Amino acid sequence: MSLRRRLTLSLVTILVLFAINVGTHFWGSYARNESMIAYRNSVNAAQLSTEVEQLLNDQRQQILVLSTLRDTTEDQLESGELEQAQGELEDIDDKIAKLGELSHDVTQMHYQKLRQSSIVLLEGWLAFYRNYNDPQYKADMDDPLPYLETSQRLKELEQRQAFIAVQRANIIDRTIALTDRITVIGFFASIFLTATLGFFLVRYTNKSLKRLKTGTQRIGSGDLDYRIDNIADSGELGDLAAAFNDMSDKLRNAMQDVSNARDVADEANAAKSIFLANVSHELRTPLNGIIGYSEMLHDELADGQDIDREQFQSDLDKIILSGRQLLSLINDILDLSKIETGKMSLHCEEFLPGQILEQVCESLAPLLRDNNNELVASNFSELPPLYNDPVKFRQIFTNLLSNACKFTQEGTITITARALPAREGWLEFSVQDTGIGMNRTQQGRIFEAFVQAEASTSANYGGTGLGLAICRDYCELMGGIIRVKSAPGKGSTFTVQLPSGSESDHAVA
């Protein structure tokens, strides 16, 4: 359960207890108020009953006196006295009616009996007053039954009301005791529950926050493999722990990427340093030859002796060869620079690839003789013409055949060409040698610029590591691909696939 849900549940529980306490308080107040009203009505009814009883008794005594005077004297009842007597009877009737208003359901029966008897009694008394001056009116005011019956009904009602007042007082006491008990229980329950929930919330939150603190300290100290686990929260704290773990992963990955980038940069710098050393060596070799033979020819001309024309011609040939080697190396560097800056372009024209391959093979005859290698070439006369860049085509196979001659001693170099049956309009060329070969790691590096298969390759065989990188870039620029298949000690096979098409095909493309 999340921290938010725990806090919400705790708050709702406390609010429910508070609502129960408030409801109990209001219910108790309402019950006490109702009981107090009923008790007050009972007390007022009892007091009113006593008052009515006293009025009835006084009126009874007054009527008895008047009845005696009427029988023994001839005094008349004045109109003022009659109105006063009627007013007193109306007052008694009103008070009895008010008793009905103060009566409860349980006393209605007693009140109805009182009301009936009081009506008979009061009507008899009223008739007596109205006919007091009439000599013909005969009234037996000495009969006590109506008065006694009314008095008896009034006492019964008064007793019943007193009983109800006692009951109401007891109910009030019990209500007060009950509400006080419920209030005290709710108060202590609220305190207990609040303290318990607070304790568990503090314990739970403190435990989770300690784990988060430990995790942040470990992550901050560089331990990016540390994970904040065992947080029993699916909400905010769990999300915070997951965010810290995710941050740790991203930091670790970022640091790994930075480390890899640094390693790649270091390797690139090392490769460029090796490349510069190799280039310096490769440049120095033909330059030393050019300078050395030039000085020799200069000295021979300065001696004034007869010149050995054959030797002179041989030295000039070596100077020219060294110059061409130097020019080829500079051209490779310039070509790679153009490729990397995106300024290398194709100069397409239609040519016969077989003729160019034959020319390349003839130009490598001296290198084949130096290493005692044999060149085996297939029949190129049946190859269709290509519409592409012939200069780059020549450069690709010059580099491939030069490498094959360089890394093969007293072996065989085979060059083949064919049309691909599975891909119409494509030609495939293969250069296979029986040289030193390469393992998988070396094969993955040879097409990178400034990189050779091994650091010792340049020292043992020469070269700058640019040839195969230029071959790959030229193949991709011409719309083709180059692959290598090799094994240590079993030679290597380089396969080049190029598209063949007309000038219109290239224009559409």
For 396-410, the DSSP string reads HHHHHHHHHHHT-SS
Which amino acid is present at 459?
A: A
Distance, CA of 385 to CA of 380 (rounded, Å): 11
**What is residue 158's three-state secondary structure?**
helix
Predicted TM-score (pTM) of this structure: 0.44
Give SS3 for 374.
strand
User: Which strand (E) or helix (H) includes residue 315?
Assistant: helix 309-341
> Which residue's structure tokens are 């300078």?
291
Tell me the C-alpha distance between 219 and 250, whole Å: 12
| pLDDT value, residue 505 | 44
Q: What is the pLDDT of residue 504?
A: 37
Expressed in angstroms, the distance from the first to the final Cα of the chain is 64
| Predicted pLDDT at 325 | 63
φ, ψ of residue 373 in degrees (nearest 5)? -100, 155
Bridge partner list, 429: 417, 496
Per-residue pLDDT of the chain in tens (509 residues, 90 and over written 9):
566 676 777 778 778 877 877 777 777 777 777 777 777 777 787 788 888 888 888 888 888 888 888 778 877 888 888 889 889 889 988 988 888 887 767 778 888 888 888 898 888 888 888 888 887 877 777 778 888 888 888 888 888 877 877 777 787 778 778 877 887 887 788 788 788 877 777 776 777 777 777 777 777 777 767 777 666 556 666 667 777 677 777 777 887 788 888 887 776 666 566 556 556 656 666 777 788 778 777 777 777 667 777 787 877 877 886 777 677 667 767 666 666 666 778 888 999 999 999 998 988 888 888 889 999 988 888 888 888 899 899 999 998 998 899 889 999 999 999 888 888 889 999 999 999 888 888 888 888 766 554 555 544 555 566 788 888 998 998 899 999 999 998 899 999 999 875 443 443 33
Label the pairing between strands 412-419 and 374-377. Answer: parallel
pLDDT at 506: 44
